[in-house]
Amino acid sequence: MSLIHWAILSPFLMAVFVPFFRKYIHKIHTGWFVLLLPIFLFTYFLQFLNETMNGKTVIKTANWIPSIGVNFTAYIDGLGLLFALLITGIGALVVLYSIYYLSKVKESLHTFYVYLLCFMGAMLGVVLSDNIIVLYTFWELTSLSSFLLIGYWYTREKSRYGAQKSMLITVFGGLSMLAGFILLSIMTDTFSIREMIPQVSTLPDHPLFIPAMLLVLLGAFTKSAQFPFHIWLPDAMEAPTPVSAYLHSATMVKAGIYLVARLSPIFAGSSEWFWIISSFGLFTLFWGSFNAVKQTDLKAILAYSTISQLGMIMSLLGIGSAAIHFIDVPDNLYMAAIVAAVFHLINHATFKGSLFMVAGIVDHETGTRDIRKLGGLMSIMPITFTLAVIGTFSMAGIPPFNGFLSKEMFFTAMVNVTTLDIFNMETWGVLFPIIAWVGSVFTFVYSMILVFKTFTGKLQAEKLPKKPHEAPIGILIPPIILASLVIIFGFFANLLVPSIIKPAVASIMPRVVEGKMAAIEIEYWHGWNTELKMTLGVFALGALLFLTLAKWSKLYNVFSKRLTLNNLYDYVLLSIEKTASTLNRFYMTGVIRDYLVVIFSFFILALGSSLVIKDAFAIDLTHVAPIRLYEAVLSLVLVAGVVTILFAKSRLTAIIALGAVGYSVSLFFILFRAPDLALTQLVIETVSVALFLLCFYYLPELKKKEKKLRFKVTNLVISLGVGTIVTLIALSANSNRLFESISSYFIENSYKEAGGKNIVNVILVDFRGFDTLFEITVLGIAALGIFGMIRLRLSRGKGQ
């Protein structure tokens, strides 16, 4: 265990102590204690910048299950460090924000901070683990803590619904990812991502390559809310706003992005990877921004916006994967897409975090998040308004904020991809920039809706639950910090390039970047090029669409409200439950006969079919003893007894017939030279018949209860089947004797070793005495049981 391990695990340790802070220190908001940890971790991780800037990595291993190669290996490189800084930095701001957002008195703060710290630790574990099994462990911990945080207000129906939905979808993806990881480890014979990368040249030919890729991508897409798995994210907005800001904009939803980026060195280069990631990403970009426009809840707009932006980053990672094919080309156009992805990842975390906080402030100060009720807050909440303008303009891609830069780079990548001459891009490639452009137009529209419908127009004071006023300064500090980062990264984007972006790109594309690092640069002004014209087009059309929103927003009504993915999800969930319970009711009837029918039918089918399949049936009459007259007659007597039982109308007939069968069996024992058996059988049959008579005296008359013919026929078929199978097996087994009996030993040694001449008795009490001991025990238990049943009479009241 090194210091890094302790740093990753420290949130969990802290979580243990949080309830004590809550319990014993009442005057100070618990959040202040929690706040220290992410700040400390942030400064701790900042120190690693020196190492990663110089292209170095840090690896520390702590043994966990060394015998199967599962060890907690902490691995810090550019990509991991970028995420670690995002997690701890925004984590600190979110904790600060939550101190002012959550009431000290009303809320159960300790559960909130315990969940939040668990989430933070799990997320650090995801991004800093090299071992895929450990990565998976932390991955599921993020799902779990996210579930707990979404359901924080657990008394609300919608919170529980959202929590369950996100849990089901992300855990479904997580389990697929585990399967993908296992396939990966089978292919490479290691659990370590670092050790997988050198084997990459042999991997694409492996038959498991594509299944592993698909399964891993399923995990990444569900976590990062890509189409069609995005449906959980809008419902997760029932969580407290700090949670939405932290988990559902800046960190957890980027775990899928992280996974794609982390595994790019392994999978990138294959056309499937390129197509799946870029096309799903682009469609998610379009679908998210298209749907965001029709939302009326501030957080719902932001949720769809997050979906859309995640799709954008995903598609950039997909397009960037083409860079592998152009290693020898000096001017690598496609690697710019990776740079854009990393840059937008940072930008999105800053502006989306601040926007969620702004939405939370508006909610906090006015009591509603519905944009139909909001309006005219600009003069009342000037600081919040400024923050919202910075965030939304950056999101819409308006200069001089950082969103403009990453959107330009996004368009550059999309325009470049049309010139790609691999993967059949010449046919469909032209769609890429078009979809991207349309998606950006909608992005512009909802960004404008977000800021102008909330802050401009007329104040509808009568509709608001609270009298609006500017928020306290404490709650404004975190979004102010994030918004200033938006501006700083906008003006001084090149600050980030050598320190963070280059090392991160180097981790994503290790084979490509050598010698090309110098080429990475983010410039404000590229000249009068296609991208700039596209951006201007976005502004023009976006502004037009925003101003005429009332006229065309009816377009959304064209799509039926019932034909949505949410309804599909609900329907599938409901029908699974229904089908399962119908199935259960179908075969779990509660009637013993039905179960016996199933058991006996299975007996017939399984044994019968294996007899047929293995061709095991054989009759070999060479060893068979000759039939004597006695046995033939006795067999007839026995069968006659059995038939009498079957057709007996009175219980006495049945008992006597059963006795006759028992005595015939004991006569068989005599004929087959088994005196002890015959004796025992006689005695026991007599006692049994006596017992039957005793009990039957108290039991009702034998009545024919089986009146239906079908019932009888089923019984007849099954019982004949059972009888036939038993006979066939007996005959076949008898004809296939493999070796001689061991009984010669008993015969030889019965007198010599044990001093007895009755061999059966010697076996019972000497050679195999243990059987007898426990047979005695069985009799004893039966006797005690009978005694108990007859004597113990717990009346109904006492018994229950």
Partner 1 sequence: MEVLISIVIGILFAAATYLMLSKSLIRIIIGTGLLSHGAHLLILTMGGLKQGSAPVLVKGTEQYVDPLPQALILTAIVISFGVTAFFLVLAYRAYQELGTDNMDLLKGSDNDE
Answer yes or no whether residue 544 interacts with partner 1 by CB under 8 A.
no
CB neighbour class for 210 (10 Å; exposed up to 12, middle 13-18, buried from 19): middle
Q: Interface with partner 1 by CB under 8 A: which range of 325-333, 517-525, 559-567, 762-770?
A: 762-770
Nearest approach in angstroms of CB 575 to partner 1 is 22
Omega of the bond leading into 478 within 30 degrees of 0 (cis): no
DSSP, residue by residue, 686-708: HHHHHHHHHHHHHSPPP------
736 contacts partner 1 (rule: CB under 8 A): no
Q: Write the burial class of residue 693 (CB in 10 Å: 0-12 exposed, 13-18 middle, 19+ buried).
A: middle
Whole-number Å distance between alpha carbons of 81 and 594: 63
Q: Is residue 215 within 8 Å of 179, Cβ to Cβ?
A: yes
Which residue type does 701 have?
E
Give, as ranges, the residues between 655 and 714 that touch partner 1 (CB under 8 A).
658, 661-662, 665, 668-669, 672-677, 680-681, 684, 687-688, 691-692, 695-696, 698-700, 702-703, 705-706, 714
Task: Choose the binding region for partner 1 from 197-205, 274-282, 502-510, 628-636 (rule: CB under 8 A).
Answer: 628-636
CB of 573 to partner 1, least distance (A): 23
Q: Does 550 bind partner 1 (CB under 8 A)?
A: no
C-alpha of 764 from chain center: 57
Alpha helices in 430-500 (DSSP H): 431-448, 454-455, 473-491, 496
C-beta closer to partner 1: residue 36 or 687: 687
Q: Which stretch binds partner 1 (CB under 8 A): 153-161, 243-251, 354-362, 742-750?
A: 742-750
Residue in 635, 652, 736, 753 binding partner 1, rule: CB under 8 A: 635
Q: Does 75 bind partner 1 (CB under 8 A)?
A: no
Helices (H), 250-321: 255-267, 271-292, 298-320
Judged by CB under 8 A, the residue of 600, 608, 611, 686 near partner 1 is 600
**Interaction pattern, residues 81-120, with partner 1; x per rule: CB under 8 A:** ----------------------------------------
Query: How far apart are CB 796 and partner 1 at their closest, in Å?
Result: 9
- Please name the residue that has the structure tokens 């101190």: 99
Residues 361 and 431: their CA atoms lie apart, in Å, by 40
Indicate which single residue of 68, 627, 629, 709 sits in contact with partner 1 (rule: CB under 8 A). 627
Q: Which of 558, 626, 629, 738 binds partner 1 (CB under 8 A)?
A: 626
597 binds partner 1 (CB under 8 A): yes
Burial class (CB in 10 A: 0-12, 13-18, 19+), 766: middle
Based on the shown chain and the rule CB under 8 A, indicate whether residue 653 belongs to the binding site for partner 1. Answer: no
Shortest CB 342 distance to partner 1, Å: 58
**Pair 216, 177: CB distance under 8 Å:** yes
Segment near partner 1 (CB under 8 A), from 167-175, 413-421, 530-538, 625-633?
A: 625-633
Question: Is position 724 an interface residue for partner 1 (rule: CB under 8 A)?
Answer: yes
In angstroms, the CA 374 to CA 363 distance is 10
In the chain, what is the straight-line distance between the N-terminal and C-terminal CA atoms, in Å? Answer: 55
| Beta-carbon count within 10 A of 714 CB | 15
Residue 782 within binding range of partner 1, rule CB under 8 A = yes
SS3 587: helix
User: In whole angstroms, how close is the CB of 800 to partner 1 at the nearest point?
Assistant: 9
Q: Are 362 and 453 in contact (CB under 8 A)?
A: no
Instruction: Using the minimum distance from each CB to partner 1, give the nearer residue, 539 or 767.
Output: 767
Nearer to partner 1, 554 or 708 (CB): 708
User: What span, in angstroms and rounded, lies between the C-alpha atoms of 197 and 39?
Assistant: 34
Q: Please choose, out of 157-165, 223-231, 520-528, 584-592, the segment that lies near partner 1 by the rule CB under 8 A.
A: 584-592
For residues 439-458, which are near partner 1 according to CB under 8 A?
none
Instruction: Kindly tell me which residue out of 564, 581, 727, 736 binds partner 1, with binding defined by CB under 8 A.
Output: 727
| Residue 766 makes contact with partner 1 by CB under 8 A | no
